[in-house]
């Protein structure tokens, strides 16, 4: 059996490498003769570790340099946390595969072992996400939200050593690194709506590289693709990125796909939310019709939110420095 070698580009953080190694082992298991090597790439978001993400600005903080490795031929494909991947990809690149999706929820880890509702008044909660900060303030206006950057180990160390009472992270990352036992509380998607694409991996490749695309098709999960398509269609309809207070969650409900989304002021004082469902009266093998259904659902929810005033909230968030957590880094 002839062996074909592929180069996979990835960030070098422990979570990114865990995800890349999972993709490598799955491809080598599913595709006979496939061998994968990992190219570690340092991104802008990795280099600028101290500043809050929203303050750095711009899209593709964790993807630009990786995409350059694809375009110049140093790598055949790349693995991203899909919530980091902008909705508009560079010309010549495509979202080649979306594997089965992990847990979409956010999770709280507290030093005391208490859930959010039992933390003391003005408890300090760390997060690097405007989306999480805004929704936490909606749930508990008294909370003191503190900025938090770094990989998972760094964030957990800051919780242990610093003045923080709790931190909020994506459950998927904790589960992938075997740290689920440290979770104090899972937030349901109605209480703390997740980021677009949260819990999913996006595998990006050159659009014309047929050999690579054929191999990557082994990892595709149709239902993950459909939920991600609906969420990213919503995000595109609102013109948002990963560092604006937009949250969305697509899921299956009986014979329908449902999409819930929220646009919220960074201080949690005002929000717009909407839920819409589309029946799945299409054979699941009809990928093009399923994609069209998901895209239309995302556009519909975006239109409903804009009618409620979401555009004004987003404009204010982008120009208002209060979108950023307090500058006192723990």
Positions marked catalytic: 84
Distance CA 257, CA 293 (A): 9
Contact predicate 282/267, CB 8 Å: no
- Give me 295's structure tokens: 């895209």
Separation between Cα atoms, residue 207 and residue 173, nearest integer Å: 28
Select from 178, 195, 176 the least CA-distant residue to 187: 195
Contact (Cβ atoms closer than 8 angstroms) between residue 221 and residue 114: no
What is the rounded distance in angstroms from the CA atom of residue 157 to the CA atom of residue 14?
A: 15
Phi, psi of 249 (to 5 degrees): -150, 115
C-alpha 310/C-alpha 316 separation (Å) is: 10
Q: Are strands 166-170 and 4-10 parallel, antiparallel or unpaired?
A: unpaired
């Amino acid at each position: 059996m002839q062996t074909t070698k592929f180069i996979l580009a990835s960030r070098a953080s422990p979570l990114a490498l865990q995800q890349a190694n999972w993709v490598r082992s799955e491809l080598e298991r599913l595709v006979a003769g496939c061998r994968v090597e990992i190219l570690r790439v340092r991104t802008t978001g990795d280099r600028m570790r101290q500043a809050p993400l929203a303050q750095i600005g711009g899209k593709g903080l964790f993807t630009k340099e990786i995409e350059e490795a694809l375009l110049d031929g140093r790598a055949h494909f790349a693995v991203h946390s899909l919530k980091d991947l902008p909705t508009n990809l560079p010309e010549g690149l495509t979202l080649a595969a979306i594997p089965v999706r992990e847990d979409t929820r956010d999770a709280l880890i507290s030093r005391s072992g208490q859930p959010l509702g039992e933390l003391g008044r003005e408890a300090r909660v760390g997060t690097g996400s405007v989306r999480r900060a805004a929704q936490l303030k909606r749930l508990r206006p008294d909370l003191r939200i503190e900025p938090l950057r770094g990989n998972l180990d760094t964030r957990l160390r800051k919780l242990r050593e610093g003045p923080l009472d709790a931190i909020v992270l994506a459950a998927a990352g904790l589960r992938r690194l075997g740290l689920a036992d440290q979770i104090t509380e899972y937030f349901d998607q109605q209480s703390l709506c997740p980021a677009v694409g949260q819990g999913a991996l996006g595998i990006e490749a050159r659009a014309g590289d047929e050999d690579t695309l054929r191999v990557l098709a082994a990892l595709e999960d149709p239902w993950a693709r459909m939920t991600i398509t609906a969420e990213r269609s919503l995000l595109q309809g609102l013109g948002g990125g990963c560092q604006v207070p937009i949250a969305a969650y697509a899921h299956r409900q009986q014979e329908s796909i449902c999409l819930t989304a929220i646009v919220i002021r960074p201080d949690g004082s005002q929000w717009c939310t909407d839920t819409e469902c589309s029946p799945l009266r299409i054979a699941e093998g009809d990928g093009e019709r399923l994609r069209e259904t998901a895209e239309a659902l995302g556009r519909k929810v975006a239109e409903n939110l804009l009618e409620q005033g979401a555009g004004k909230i987003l404009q204010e968030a982008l120009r208002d420095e209060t979108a950023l957590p307090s500058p006192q880094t723990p």
